[in-house]
Amino acid sequence: MKFGKLADISQVNFQLPPDPPFNADLLAQLPRREDKGRIYIGCTGWSMKEWVGRFYPKGTKTKAFLRAYGQQFNTIELNTTHYRIPSAEMVDKWYRETPDDFRFCPKIPQSISHSRGIGLGTDLIPSFCQSISHLQEKLGCCFMQMPPYFGLDRAPQLETFLEAFPAEIPLAVEMRHESWFERPKARDTLLSILNRHRRSTVITDVAGRRDVLHMGLSNATVLVRFVGNGLHDTDYSRTDEWLQRLQKWLSAGLHEVYFFPHEPDNLLAPQMAAYTYEKIQEELPAVQCRGPKRIENQEDKGEQMRLF
DSSP string covering 238-286: HHHHHHHHHHHHHHTT--EEEEEEE-GGGTSHHHHHHHHHHHHHHH-TT
Indicate the pTM of the whole model. 0.94
Give mean pLDDT, residues 180-190: 97
Q: Residue 71: what pLDDT? A: 96
41-85: pLDDT as tens digits: 999 999 999 999 999 999 999 999 999 999 999 999 999 999 999
The percentage of residues in the chain with a pLDDT greater than 70, rounded to a whole number, is 95
Which residues are registered as beta bridge partners of 204?
225
Separation CA 163–CA 153 (nearest Å): 18
Q: Which residue has the higher pLDDT, 197 or 34?
A: 197
Q: How far apart are CA 245 and CA 272, in angstroms?
A: 18
**Residue 308 confidence class, pLDDT cut points 50, 70, 90:** very low
Task: Name every residue whose Cβ is closer than 8 Å to that of residue 113 and which is 6 or more positions away in sequence.
Answer: 82, 119, 144, 145, 146, 147
Neighbours of 81 (CB within 10 A): 21
Cβ distance 279 to 60 under 8 Å? no
CA-based end-to-end distance of the chain: 32
Candidates 3.20.20.70, 3.20.20.150, 1.10.10.10, 3.20.20.410; CATH matching 21-26+34-290: 3.20.20.410
Q: Rounded mean pLDDT of the chain? A: 94
pLDDT of residue 296: 57
Q: How confident is the model at residue 135 (pLDDT cuts 50, 70, 90)?
A: very high
Q: Which secondary-structure segment (H or E) carries 237? A: helix 233-251
The predicted-structure confidence for 226-281, as pLDDT tens digits, reads as follows 999 999 999 999 999 999 999 999 999 999 999 999 998 889 999 999 999 999 99
Element (H, E) at 46: none
Measured between alpha carbons, how far is residue 148 from residues 119, 177, 303 in Å? 17, 5, 46
What is the model's pLDDT at position 178? 97
What Cα–Cα distance (Å) separates residue 74 from each residue in 69, 193, 235? 8, 29, 22
pLDDT number for residue 302:
38
Question: For residues 111 and 79, is the Cβ–Cβ distance under 8 A?
Answer: no
Contact of 19 with 215, CB cutoff 8 Å? yes
DSSP string computed for 152-169: GGGHHHHHHHHHHS-TTS
Q: Which of 28, 11, 4 is nearest to 220 (CA)?
A: 28
Across-strand partners of 260?
225
Residue 307's pLDDT band, with cuts at 50, 70 and 90, is very low
CA 21 to chain centre: 23
Judged by DSSP in three states, 14 sits in coil
Domain boundaries, the chain: 21-26+34-290
For residue 303, what pLDDT is reported?
A: 38
> What is the per-residue pLDDT for 304?
37
Q: Which amino acid is present at 7?
A: A
